[in-house]
Structure 1
């Protein structure tokens, strides 16, 4: 029997649900309502439109075969009615009616058999003086994108301050600094960028990568006010005053749930709309998904909030199937991400060490640095990975990565993302099968090596120290500190000469013969280029009765990436 389906919100989730449903029930009537003038666009492409990588804003609205997804497209190609610049004002659940208001002020009441809420999210606001000044923007939709792009292309922006060092903030910083050479500064309230998503060392790697391209960062600072009269003049933080003629606020998003709340639908503990695995709300004929809905975190098992366009598209297909009488499920998410930092990429999935511990796990992490391809292949780059595991169960809780070959980083992260739902332990990753050829990977892939490293640590064979721990000992350590450099002479001798009181160079393959040169009363730290030889040296020393030295995770490569200049 033909149905009347109304979908509120027409960006990612709404348009996907509508199209999927119409393929299954072509005789049914589908209406999409959106208060904006644009529907069905790639919102995650906004920074790349601002940067100029995407030249035309309509490219974000087109299909892969270059058709513009506007009202005519949906009407003629999909038999779906789209009402733009129309606001959904009230849901009458008892009578299955939706009250709407058009841009011209006229109102109407629409009947529905089933309803979908894809109302999305809104940028989190800063309640400070000057936040409503001209030249203060967010980057939440195509209207924002066009406004910012117009300002920079007209040459009206010389100095920009971005408030927030998360995904959008970093991508917008790159967009302004790269193509347009705008003097760009990022201010972050926490003491690192990407707080909660990656550990401090990986955050520093990404930050340093962006600093090389001229982006400045001020961390652990609270924005107090935005100064100006007719336009922006400066941003005032808890520590300084930053002159600016453009401010972009990128401090996260909150779900748009007012329509659902007023209709009496249940909200979850995250504040978003609660749905089951079929994406059904507390009302059996109302579905919801995307940025306004709460789903299960498949790592913690707790309610989660994941405002991602890729997730909304997949949920839209599930909803479209179920509107037509199906029983498709969306069980939840593990939380995968990647952010471009000029030539490099920062990515992750699951829980960072900080989030794992906050969630109640007895968690530890290990790091490795390894080439992303065979060491003998001429075209290769270093990849840095951190694995978060639960001690007792050895369960993998998350992974983060950084590297200059973004595809290589994302490929490894995606491999772990695909298995996290199954609660894998490190032995599975240790032996996971990956396609191998020297131009693409190593015979023992970095993922295998990462899991093996975690196993060695949990079994007590490997005692690591991370870059932060090394830095603290290096800066604050007393005269008892000794660095044992396990690299070849051409790499380590210059450091031994520079720091004769605290650095000695004994190549790992000479260690057994030169044990007498190692003082027994020193706080011993082993180091090499990536951590492999220093681990071998740790085993050698243990065999000879020296049991307390630690080995620097990721070696000199990681220290350098984190900005510790020796």
Structure 2
């Protein structure tokens, strides 16, 4: 008798597992069930459907060759029998039965299995605050929600939107509402920066300023208390410090694994992450049941800690591994480094591994370096600046993470992708400093930003210069610290406004004349050397160290960072 494989969940991991298993074991009977009637869609494309970049929701459900992924498609093309609007209510592991309820008729039934796959995904976390059940309050949970939101906007029912949470989904939705529809958008973030834990403050400030430039009101350190309503409809979000009127509220406050079905079946579920516990073959504590996608916990390959991560890319890889192993294979999934990329208006934002702040929390002796340069050869037309950060451990110079914010090209993603897999093998800064990367002027510089920021980090670790953060630079300027002199090695045109604003404290010696004007630099002061990327400042610092100066500092990242933060010196 043919083996029967039942798959619960038909969005990402589930279809991939079902189809792979059927291809490798054509004799198997494969049944896929889902409580929804819209299946196998690109959930990560929802913000771009709302924005209008994707005009029809069906585009998210089409294959690359324009076939609609519905029940008939899986039956005819894949040989997978699919039951939609079918809710799995219970798993009887002893009898190997899945109890289901057909949502249209209310009828209940059981489906026997030999092997079972749980691809139950995750659900949005809704803040436990008054008003969250009001009409007009949404979480981006599925395609139905996206369709309803877009219909409200197209009918002119929405003018002001409040988004709670400045993570990836929150910012993508902010762009969707602002860019095409021109709505008034306020983003309320609990932490002191957008994209917390994904980016460190120097990179996040660039994103925050860009949002401001695009007309998005970003409120940081916002403590949301309730959603105010009238006649059953949301009218405002109330925080500890303000009231923000709106017609639509989006809760983008993270997701939680849908692991209750597994827990009730007696499978091992992590009390810490809430994810289903699996081994490297993606088997649960019951070897006849596999699980993958957003509902499982996985290993972070840098920290070694367990985590849950919502990622369509990972879910698809999980599905293929599960499908292979259902057919007798031995493929494994070791974990992830958290590779991430998003579009934020005109920016590409990407990261992998640990941020500096998270690395410190995880017990690493972490430090970081910043750098900016054109992402193509500086002489190539249209080359824009890319800003990068690398995080490493002082003890052994192991690279822990990498971040990039740049123009809306593939540059930021390419750099992150080139290092994301490498992180698994514990590279050192010397590895990334001299890492071979393809080069041509239309794509990058002879020394890629990834190479250069690694070299900067090595210089810090070698003690070749003393870094200082711009927060400290600003503090010394504002406090009129009499013991600090600012040496600007840029052009006279760039330095002149600051020389006029801070007479006697901000001095100018162009970069190539520093070694010939040592006598003009006071030896009894602390010297902060400034340029646009800190590269010229570093070289000037080396000249001063050689001349016997000791208290000479170079701001991390350079003035280009300050400009992109919208800060005024």
- Residue 555 of structure 1: CA displacement? 1.1
- Residue 416 of structure 1: CA displacement? 0.9
- In structure 2, distance between residues paired with 1:101 and 1:433: 55
Q: Verify: 1:21 aligned to 2:21, yes or no.
A: yes
In 2, are the aligned partners of 1:8 and 1:33 still within 8 Å (CA)? yes
- Residue 83 of structure 1: CA displacement? 1.0
Q: Verify: 1:338 aligned to 2:341, yes or no.
A: yes
Task: Tell me the residue number matched to 1:208.
Answer: 209
Mean alpha-carbon deviation: is it higher for 8-17 or for 509-518?
509-518
Q: Verify: 1:138 aligned to 2:139, yes or no.
A: yes
In the alignment of these two chains, the number of paired residues is 566
- In structure 2, distance between residues paired with 1:200 and 1:472: 17
- In structure 2, distance between residues paired with 1:27 and 1:459: 62
Question: 1:230-287: per-residue Cα shift (whole Å, max 9, x none)?
Answer: 2111110110011100000000000011100001111123110011111010000100
- In structure 2, distance between residues paired with 1:372 and 1:144: 38
In 1, are the aligned partners of 2:343 and 2:408 still within 8 Å (CA)? no
- Residue 510 of structure 1: CA displacement? 1.0
Find runs of 4+ consecutive structure 1 residues off by over 4 angstroms. none
Task: Tell me the residue number matched to 2:181.
Answer: 180
Task: Tell me the residue number matched to 2:261.
Answer: 259
SS in 2 for 1:273: coil
In 2, are the aligned partners of 1:163 and 1:249 still within 8 Å (CA)? yes
SS in 1 for 2:568: coil
SS in 2 for 1:292: coil
Task: Tell me the residue number matched to 1:119.
Answer: 120
Q: What do you get for the CA RMSD once the two structures are aligned?
A: 1.1
SS in 1 for 2:214: coil
- In structure 1, distance between residues paired with 2:491 and 2:127: 54
Q: Verify: 1:150 aligned to 2:151, yes or no.
A: yes
Task: Tell me the residue number matched to 2:93.
Answer: 93
Equivalent positions of 1:240-251 (< 5 A) are 240-251=242-253
Equivalent positions of 1:470-485 (< 5 A) are 470-485=473-488
- In structure 1, distance between residues paired with 2:476 and 2:12: 50
- Residue 301 of structure 1: CA displacement? 1.5
Q: Verify: 1:70 aligned to 2:70, yes or no.
A: yes
- Residue 496 of structure 1: CA displacement? 1.3
Task: Tell me the residue number matched to 1:329.
Answer: 332
Picking from 449, 452, 456, the partner of 1:453 is 456
| Structure 1 stretches lacking a partner, 5+ long | none
In 1, are the aligned partners of 2:211 and 2:218 still within 8 Å (CA)? no
- In structure 1, distance between residues paired with 2:239 and 2:479: 30
- Residue 501 of structure 1: CA displacement? 3.2
Equivalent positions of 1:217-366 (< 5 A) are 217-229=218-230, 230-268=232-270, 269-366=272-369
Question: 1:167-199: per-residue Cα shift (whole Å, max 9, x none)?
Answer: 100000000000000000000011111111111
Task: Tell me the residue number matched to 2:499.
Answer: 496
SS in 2 for 1:291: coil
Q: Verify: 1:529 aligned to 2:532, yes or no.
A: yes
In 2, are the aligned partners of 1:201 and 1:468 still within 8 Å (CA)? no
In 2, are the aligned partners of 1:2 and 1:25 still within 8 Å (CA)? no
In 2, are the aligned partners of 1:471 and 1:564 still within 8 Å (CA)? no
In 2, are the aligned partners of 1:381 and 1:405 still within 8 Å (CA)? no
Task: Tell me the residue number matched to 1:557.
Answer: 560
Q: TM-score, normalised by structure 2?
A: 0.98
Mean alpha-carbon deviation: is it higher for 264-273 or for 281-290?
264-273
Q: TM-score, normalised by structure 1?
A: 0.98
In 2, are the aligned partners of 1:339 and 1:346 still within 8 Å (CA)? yes
- Residue 522 of structure 1: CA displacement? 2.1
Question: 1:431-478: per-residue Cα shift (whole Å, max 9, x none)?
Answer: 111111111111111111111111110000021123333233333452
In 2, are the aligned partners of 1:379 and 1:439 still within 8 Å (CA)? no
SS in 1 for 2:320: helix
- Residue 99 of structure 1: CA displacement? 0.6
- In structure 1, distance between residues paired with 2:496 and 2:245: 47
SS in 1 for 2:76: helix
Mean alpha-carbon deviation: is it higher for 48-57 or for 368-377?
368-377
In 2, are the aligned partners of 1:349 and 1:399 still within 8 Å (CA)? yes
Task: Tell me the residue number matched to 2:161.
Answer: 160
Question: 1:180-237: per-residue Cα shift (whole Å, max 9, x none)?
Answer: 0000000001111111111112111011111111000111011111111221111101
- Residue 491 of structure 1: CA displacement? 2.1
Task: Tell me the residue number matched to 1:418.
Answer: 421
SS in 2 for 1:406: coil
Mean alpha-carbon deviation: is it higher for 372-381 or for 451-460?
372-381
- In structure 2, distance between residues paired with 1:520 and 1:157: 62
- Residue 56 of structure 1: CA displacement? 0.3
- In structure 2, distance between residues paired with 1:468 and 1:22: 58
Question: 1:397-452: per-residue Cα shift (whole Å, max 9, x none)?
Answer: 00011111431111111111020111100111111111111111111111111111
- In structure 2, distance between residues paired with 1:279 and 1:474: 56
- Residue 344 of structure 1: CA displacement? 0.7
Task: Tell me the residue number matched to 2:511.
Answer: 508
In 2, are the aligned partners of 1:487 and 1:507 still within 8 Å (CA)? yes
- In structure 2, distance between residues paired with 1:188 and 1:113: 46
Mean alpha-carbon deviation: is it higher for 174-183 or for 404-413?
404-413
- In structure 2, distance between residues paired with 1:234 and 1:460: 53
- In structure 1, distance between residues paired with 2:263 and 2:480: 57
- In structure 1, distance between residues paired with 2:39 and 2:196: 31
CA gap of 1:77–1:505, structure 2 versus 1, over 3 A, is same
Equivalent positions of 1:44-59 (< 5 A) are 44-59=44-59
Q: Verify: 1:396 aligned to 2:399, yes or no.
A: yes
Question: 1:5-29: per-residue Cα shift (whole Å, max 9, x none)?
Answer: 0011110000110111111011211
- In structure 2, distance between residues paired with 1:500 and 1:127: 54
- In structure 2, distance between residues paired with 1:151 and 1:468: 44
